[in-house]
Amino acid sequence: MRICCIGGGPAGLYFALLMKKQNPAHEVVVLERNRAGDTFGWGVVFSDQTLAALRAADPQSAAEILDAFNHWDDIAVHIGGETVVSGGHGFCGIGRKQLLSILQRRCMELGVELRYEQDVQDDAGIEADLIIAADGLNSRLRQKYAATYQPDIDLRNCRFVWLGTKKLFDAFTFDFQQTEWGWFQAHAYKFDGETSTFIVETPEAVWQAAGLEQMSKEEGIAFCEKLFAKVLDGHALMSNAAHLRGSAQWIRFPRVVCKTWVHYREPLGLRSAESVPQGERGGSGRPSASANGVAPVVLMGDAAHTAHFSIGSGTKLALEDAIDLARDIAAHEGDLKAALDAYQATRSIEVLRIQNAARNSTEWFENVDRHARLDPQQFAYSLLTRSQRISHENLRLRDARYVGDFERWLARRSGLDATVPPMFTPFKLRELTLKNRVVVSPMAQYSCVDGLPADYHLVHLGARALGGAGLVFAEMTCTSPDARITPGCPGLWNDEQMQGWQRIVENVHQHSSAKIAMQLGHAGPKGSTRVPWHGGEDLPLESGNWPLLAASAQQYLSGISQTAKPMDRADMDRVRDDFVAATQRAAAAGFDWMELHCAHGYLLSSFISPLTNQRQDDYGGSLENRLRYPLEVFRAMRAVWPAERPMSVRISAHDWVPGGTTPEDSVEISAAFKAAGADLIDVSSGQVSKAQKPVYGRMFQTPFSENIRNRVGIATIAVGAISEADHVNSIIASGRADLCAVARPHLANPAWTLTEAARIGYTGPAGLEWPQQYLSGKQQMEREGERQRGAGLAAAEQANKALGV
């Protein structure tokens, strides 16, 4: 096979040596535009876990790379005059130039042809069976075949400059400096015996305000030296980007995602099937893809994808691309197309996983001003867990002392003198104290007749109250018959319903230490639909429909749903008064907490979202106007709800539709409700439009909660794909929310909180109360949790031995 790698970075060099090692008969050439010794980076970082793949793929180069590594375990975070250190992270640093030299030597040993100062503008003159486009971030081949690759390039908000220093850092060091213009941060680590990488980063607006855009290269470096003088201990900063002038050394990171990684082009010379060597044919004896008249151009490394430097995975991904493609080519016995299909299928999934983590990390560093409002201890924890790849228990495995100290610090803030997992610390709002931070989400059950909660809800909510959660929400309860989503929805528009709820509340209070919350809402344009198991969700009733209301005329399901009537002032007065009456009944029933539902496209949400509010009066147009009626309802409810009891609002922080509500809008929405007397924002998203395109993932809505909590200064509930104690502990500990609402896991297991406590080895007593009738089950569950943790630790130790850690 004739292989041409365009680009002599880690991806191109490593793939070249692997293919030549795999079959010495392969003709492999690497075309690199720079000279052999040129490189414009400083050090690169690997985690310990990356090393096993290098050892397996090519032990010779892996041994040399390992010998050149500088290893460290600690991360040090400097902010506000304090330093927080956490250990056990297992990083390795190596100079980029040294890494390339090792790979270049290994290529030459194996017979790979390296050609330098070959600035390939186009692949038109290259005849090969396989072309690897490893030509970097600004790939010309990716641009040429953009119609095939369909790249999505997102230019991020921060400016950064890649520098070096002779100051040797003992830990991976983050240093944060506040200036009159805003926050700057440095990422620093040692990569050889005499040099460290030193990256300086700041948001674009701060960079411009500081005047760096007008500074020369030398002036910009001097600015950074002065700003970070303390952590540099008087050492200078250095640049090796001699080709850049002025402020061009400051760049914005482009996140690159490609839909497709392989383009098939017509080769210069078509060979007949008979002329193709046997080694290039598939298992059936047929020629490879290129021999059949197509020559694949395959993206690799930064040409295919980028991951922000703050998670140190760019070089890791490039080398793993090379390893996987070489393996797939060997596994498919010369059937090149099948190999390339396998390569794209496996690598695109792994890259997406890393890029999701990198996105979280990138956004964290873009919003340091938000996180800097936390205490230094919590700020550092937030930084360590920013990507959501490192969780609370993962941190404990790395550095149990650090986590234990942090848990004690966090518990003291809640009035406890003990080491307690964050999810089991108490939370006080107004005069109400919750025993822990776990909330059973309001989950529609559609199991009432004429809005009356009866035995089903007594058992359903009672079981979850016994299950250990601090707060149990009733499902969205409707304020009038025409406010229901379905005929099976509960109500609170008459005294009989109030008495049904009172029976449930008294049961919760008598048999558990949980608190119980009422959530009031009005379905608006999403009402008068079937119970989901009676023909499908959101579909209108087959008969007996009631008229619908909304901010503006709309159909939730276009061409299917009823058209809701735009509310006039009389409608608004009636609905407001219905909410007030229901609030009074909830107070009389003894509920501990009240929540107003202003999310998910229901009536009040239809006023807030610009997708559904097209009014031309005082209740439409600007966000201030769109909030006017929901705030009117909220204020009227707050006026009759007991002053000592908390009141929250559920909002959709993101409509996930262009032109809809954005996370930035959600800050203004939350601030308005706070000013009206809200104690907490329950932060959800979506369900306003069927055109939504959410970006799902574990804890995917948590960043919206953090944005509101730390910018508005109001307590929040995080919701969405929170399914483990580890998730809850990480969210609470990092200051991303004050409470975590867990939905579907509570449907599968009413005792989810008790089960998770046993699984992580927490036996109480703080924040955890087992019903005395269930204590024998507690002991058995705790033994099972201990057994599972032991098995997990044994597996982790085995993996570490395999990695040589």
The pair of structure tokens assigned to 706 is: 């953090």
Q: Is 789 exposed, middle or buried (0-12, 13-18, 19+ CB in 10 A)?
A: middle
| CA 784/CA 250 separation, integer angstroms | 54
Active-site amino acid positions:
602
Question: What residue type is 715 in one-letter code?
Answer: A
List residues bridging with 185 in a β-sheet.
Answer: 176, 201
**Neighbour-count burial for 294-304, b at 16+ CB within 10 Å, e otherwise:** bbbbbbbbbbb
DSSP codes, 127-194: --SEEEE---TT-HHHHHTHHHH-EEEEEEEEEEEEEEESPPPSSEEEEEEE-SS-EEEEEEEE-SSS
Q: Which of 697, 593, 612, 698 is closest to 652 using CA atoms?
A: 612
490, 477 contact by CB (below 8 A): yes
| CA 214/CA 212 separation, integer angstroms | 5
The pair of structure tokens assigned to 722 is: 């929170």
Query: What is the Rg, in whole angstroms, of the alpha carbon atoms belonging to the chain?
Result: 30
| CA 160/CA 177 separation, integer angstroms | 15
End-to-end CA distance of the chain: 38
- Rounded to the nearest angstrom, the gap between the alpha carbon of residue 513 and the centroid of all alpha carbons in its chain is 33
Other Cβ atoms within 10 Å of 792 Cβ, number: 12
Strands 295-299 and 262-265, by their bridges, are antiparallel
Other Cβ atoms within 10 Å of 547 Cβ, number: 11
208, 152 contact by CB (below 8 A): no
- Rounded to the nearest angstrom, the gap between the alpha carbon of residue 548 and the centroid of all alpha carbons in its chain is 37
Contacts of residue 302, defined as CB under 8 A and 6 or more positions apart, other chains included, come to 9, 11, 136, 137, 139, 256, 314, 318
For the chain, the farthest-separated pair of C-alpha atoms sits apart, in whole angstroms, at 89
The pair of structure tokens assigned to 552 is: 């503006």
| CA 563/CA 569 separation, integer angstroms | 19
Other Cβ atoms within 10 Å of 230 Cβ, number: 11
The pair of structure tokens assigned to 245 is: 């002038």
| CA 88/CA 171 separation, integer angstroms | 11
DSSP 710: I
Q: Which of 706, 745, 705 is closest to 724 using CA atoms?
A: 745
Residue located via tokens 């694949």: 296
Say whether 425 sits in a helix, a strand or coil: coil
Say whether 135 sits in a helix, a strand or coil: coil
Q: What are phi and psi of 516, to 5 degrees?
A: -130, 135
Q: What are phi and psi of 482, to 5 degrees?
A: -85, 5
List residues bridging with 740 in a β-sheet.
Answer: 438, 718
| CA 190/CA 72 separation, integer angstroms | 9
708 vs 120, 328, 715, CA distance in Å? 49, 46, 8
| CA 229/CA 245 separation, integer angstroms | 24
Strands 91-95 and 43-47, by their bridges, are antiparallel
